[in-house]
Amino acid sequence: MKHFYILFLLISSITFAQYEGFNYTTAVSLSGWGSHGGILGELFPITTASDNGNSLNVTGAVAVPIGNRVQLNPSVSTTSFTEDVDFQFSAPVTTTAYASFFVKVTSDASLTANTTTTPPIYFFHFMNNIATTTGWVSRIGMRKGSAAGTVNIGVLNSTGGAAGVTDLYGATPIDYAMNTTHLIVVKYQTGTSTTHATSIWIDPVLSSTEPAATHTSGFGTSATTSIQAISLRQAAALPVLEIDEIRMGTSWANVVTPLLAVDELKKIDSSIKLSNTLVKDQFTVFSDEKVTVELFSSIGQTLKKVVSNNTPIDVSNLQAGTYFVRISNEKESTVKKIIKR
């Protein structure tokens, strides 16, 4: 049975990540993604049962996954599972780009051996221009682990030169279990060939503060000063893997805070309550004083802003789905989640 939790967000200054939970069954490239390689319309979400409903999930995450997940599967044939897709940031990122996602490896039959020292075939990367094949950075790939049933997860910051094992996997490559869902967070600091860098976290402790990275690399000379999109890439030497719960933003808070446990969050005013979180036509914010109530879509679009004094707020015109309510007074703010039926 799928468990439901209230998702709280850290609100010292609220920002929303872009989110993709594959809450549809149509082709990915017909559902908000672009397609820049392979057969158009080939990559579909899979709808079989997984960690939580049809979704991947990790231990300790409070956010409830929605929708389905996608599978990259090079073993099917040479003419299917070839589509490479991209999802654009709402605006080009010229400082630091972040992304987080869940990944589960279900077969390593196509992976290169643990002794491979060259950059692994990659399945995820940042793009500075969806129209070209240059400026692709933070290329995440895998090789077999040193123990059976495990993989090493590496990242190539950029091309230009001969990357070694330490550049790709860090000083001591770590074995990660297959058939287990892992959280990956990746950050690219834009810059020049001498200042740009990629940091990757694999299964970090969920915290509102950005911890030390699992591995950071400034390798390569093909730097970029702007990130336009993320990309999922398919290739013959990849493992069979599933990806889900993608978040994109410009800070650690954007892509990790929505996953946090309740005791990590602050600024929650217990005197402010909602009449109901499962909403049909309206809900009421109960407070000892007037408050400003803002309603956001799941991707951060502002839908409504009102001043409330325990008066019902009409949402009858909204489509069914998940929404966030930011409630502010002169002292603090809090965010709560509602589900519109």
pLDDT digits (tens, 9 = 90+) for 52-92: 999 999 987 766 788 899 999 886 545 556 899 999 998 89
| CA 299 to chain centroid | 12
**Homologous superfamily, domain 273-340:** Macroglobulin (MG2) domain (2.60.40.1930)
Give the class (CATH, top level) of 18-263.
Answer: mainly beta
Taking the CA atoms of 258, 262, 268 and 273 in sequence, report the sign of the dihedral they define: positive
Say if CB 315 and CB 287 are below 8 A apart: no
The domain limits of the chain are 18-263, 273-340
Q: Residue 332 corresponds to which tokens in the numbers above?
A: 């603090």
pLDDT tens, N- to C-terminus, the chain (341 residues):
233 233 333 333 344 568 899 989 999 999 999 999 888 888 999 999 999 999 999 987 766 788 899 999 886 545 556 899 999 998 899 999 999 999 999 999 999 999 999 999 999 999 998 877 778 999 999 999 999 999 999 999 999 989 999 999 999 999 999 999 999 999 999 999 999 999 999 999 888 789 999 999 999 999 999 999 999 999 888 999 999 999 999 999 889 877 764 444 444 445 678 888 899 999 999 888 888 898 888 666 778 889 998 999 999 999 998 888 878 776 566 777 888 88
pLDDT digits (tens, 9 = 90+) for 182-206: 999 999 999 999 999 999 999 998 8
Q: Exposed/middle/buried for 27, CB within 10 Å: 0-12, 13-18, 19+?
A: middle
- DSSP per position, 167-230: HHH-SS---EETTS-EEEEEEEE---TTT-EEEEEES----SS----SEEE---S---S-EEEE
Spatial separation of the C-alpha atoms in residues 157 and 318, rounded to whole Å: 42
Specify the pTM.
0.75
Quick one: which of 213, 217, 216, 215 has its CA closest to 204? 213
Domains 18-263 and 273-340 share a fold: no
